[in-house]
């Protein structure tokens, strides 16, 4: 199991340098605010570095995309009319191609070598497009929006008129969609508190109504649930999918045995209601969804439906047979959590993992918090608790005068970027 998780110096040489990286992040300070050439871009909704760390892109509220050199903090280019409405998300396909999505229902492809015009514009969604993912193996672009649709775009056959596309999946109240690093699973979060997991993912297989097997609808377990002898197991809940629009799943659906332990079918659907501390009897909205860079866990930012409390939660992926044979199997287990300041109600705060997965950067009021699984910034697999434990605050960094909405680690440098509601982008890097 250790080898499968990537443990051991022979598998991951970076494990020997975690002390140095922890020291670097421990010395991190506000470095600079990038010099903006315009004051009309509005709030910063998303930040994205190119894979080689040479370019920082900024998705803005007022139709613009900004590009910066993150090392010199110098402005490179402003795409002043990148879209006709808010720009929500940016995703690099490689070191030169990137995609943007917008509330204007479109996705645009761009080339860093020719930014005066779009490579192409993709039409297919009917509402705001909020999320972009990319499968580097098949070169398929995956997008999701508030129309509830997940759409697949074949960039192998892209022309100036767009790309061939197909609707892959649909669910109500869709908020965010992510692919695991190996593209073996797709996770979808909803505003009604459900988390959907498509196992053994096959993006080439279109999912029509009723064509995918539902594993089970259930609440995720925490470590305390597993060790508690008086627990009666996770309760079943209703599915938000389009083939089950009201009420709990039928008894026939619930009694269907899980096929994950044997030869499971492709695109098997699992429906979960992740446990959130203090929210057991209240609904919650999953506003942000991220995945550990090694695929070990998922990171959620949840708010109560009364919007008076927010939580950052880490859930470990559990593979193999159920922990308790008498209970339905659940793929996720709550391992760490922390309460967040609920500043800027109504706005989504996008958090992220560090490139090595040892730390989390989380928007916190007018700044960000660096969080670890323990005080030594150990890897998750080395400090899994028996019961759900609090995330440890490593550093707090404040340099904004408004609510921080998004944050991102550089993939290549010891640098963090954050963007706020008033449009300021700040960079943080070590100072000695």
pLDDT band per the 50, 70, 90 thresholds, residue 98: very high
- The reported pLDDT for the residue numbered 329 is 55
Residue 346 lies in a domain: yes
Residue 233 lies in a domain: no
Residue 228 lies in a domain: no
- The reported pLDDT for the residue numbered 377 is 85
Residue-number span of the structural domain to which 403 is assigned: 23-218+267-430
Residue 343 lies in a domain: yes
Residue 62 lies in a domain: yes
Residue 249 lies in a domain: no
pLDDT band per the 50, 70, 90 thresholds, residue 403: very high
Average pLDDT estimate for 338-353:
87
pLDDT band per the 50, 70, 90 thresholds, residue 11: very low
Domain count, the chain: 1
pLDDT band per the 50, 70, 90 thresholds, residue 230: very low
Residue 224 lies in a domain: no
More confident residue, 363 or 341: 363
- The reported pLDDT for the residue numbered 321 is 44
Residue 413 lies in a domain: yes
Strand pairing class (297-304; 310-317): antiparallel
pLDDT band per the 50, 70, 90 thresholds, residue 241: very low
- The reported pLDDT for the residue numbered 67 is 94
CATH at residue 393: 2.130.10.10
- The reported pLDDT for the residue numbered 373 is 93
More confident residue, 377 or 187: 187
C-alpha dihedral over 113, 117, 118, 120, to 10 degrees? Answer: -120
Q: Is the pLDDT of residue 158 over 90?
A: no
pTM check: above 0.75: yes
- The reported pLDDT for the residue numbered 346 is 79
pLDDT band per the 50, 70, 90 thresholds, residue 225: very low
Read off the pLDDT of residues 184-199 as tens digits, 9 standing for 90 and up: 999 999 988 889 999 9
- The reported pLDDT for the residue numbered 318 is 78
- The reported pLDDT for the residue numbered 74 is 87
- Name which of 95-99, 227-231, 240-244, 394-398 the model is least confident about: 227-231
Read off the pLDDT of residues 252-300 as tens digits, 9 standing for 90 and up: 332 233 334 444 578 888 898 887 776 554 557 888 999 999 999 999 9
């Amino acid at each position: 199991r250790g080898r499968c998780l990537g443990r051991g110096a022979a598998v991951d040489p970076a494990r020997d340098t975690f002390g140095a990286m922890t020291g670097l992040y421990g010395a991190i300070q506000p470095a600079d605010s990038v010099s903006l050439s315009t004051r009309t871009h509005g709030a910063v909704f998303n930040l994205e570095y190119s894979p080689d760390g040479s370019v920082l892109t900024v998705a803005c509220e007022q139709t613009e995309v900004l590009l910066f050199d993150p090392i010199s903090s110098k402005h490179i280019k402003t795409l002043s009319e990148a879209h006709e409405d808010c720009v929500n998300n940016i995703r690099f396909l490689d070191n030169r191609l990137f995609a943007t999505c917008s509330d204007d229902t479109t996705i645009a492809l761009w080339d860093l070598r020719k930014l005066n015009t779009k490579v192409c514009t993709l039409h297919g969604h009917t509402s705001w497009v909020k999320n972009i993912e990319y499968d580097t193996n098949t070169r398929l672009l995956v997008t999701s929006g508030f129309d509830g649709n997940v759409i697949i775009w074949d960039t192998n056959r892209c022309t100036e008129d767009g790309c061939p596309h197909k609707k892959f999946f649909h669910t109500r109240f869709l908020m965010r969609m992510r692919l695991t690093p190996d593209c073996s699973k797709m996770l979808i979060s909803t505003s009604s508190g459900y988390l959907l997991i498509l196992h053994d993912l096959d993006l080439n297989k279109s999912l029509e109504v009723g064509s995918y097997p539902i594993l089970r609808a259930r609440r995720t377990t925490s470590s305390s649930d597993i060790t508690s002898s008086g627990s009666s197991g996770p309760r079943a809940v209703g599915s938000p999918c389009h083939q089950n629009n009201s009420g709990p799943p039928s008894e026939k659906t619930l009694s269907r045995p899980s096929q994950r332990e044997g030869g499971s079918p492709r695109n098997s659907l699992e429906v979960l209601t992740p446990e959130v501390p203090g929210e057991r009897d209240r609904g919650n909205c999953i506003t942000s969804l991220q995945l550990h860079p090694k695929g070990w866990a998922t990171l959620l930012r949840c708010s109560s439906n009364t919007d008076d409390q927010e939580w950052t939660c880490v859930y470990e992926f559990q593979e193999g047979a159920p922990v308790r044979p008498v209970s339905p199997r659940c793929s996720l287990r709550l391992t760490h959590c922390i309460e967040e300041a609920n500043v800027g109600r109504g706005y989504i705060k996008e958090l992220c993992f560090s490139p090595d997965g040892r730390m989390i950067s989380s928007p916190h009021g007018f700044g960000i918090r660096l969080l670890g699984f323990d005080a030594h910034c150990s890897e998750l697999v080395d400090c899994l608790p028996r019961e759900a434990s609090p995330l440890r605050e490593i550093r707090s960094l404040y340099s904004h005068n408004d609510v921080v909405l998004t944050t991102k680690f550089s993939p290549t440098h010891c640098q963090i970027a954050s963007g706020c509601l008033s449009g300021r982008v700040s960079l943080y890097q070590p100072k000695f």
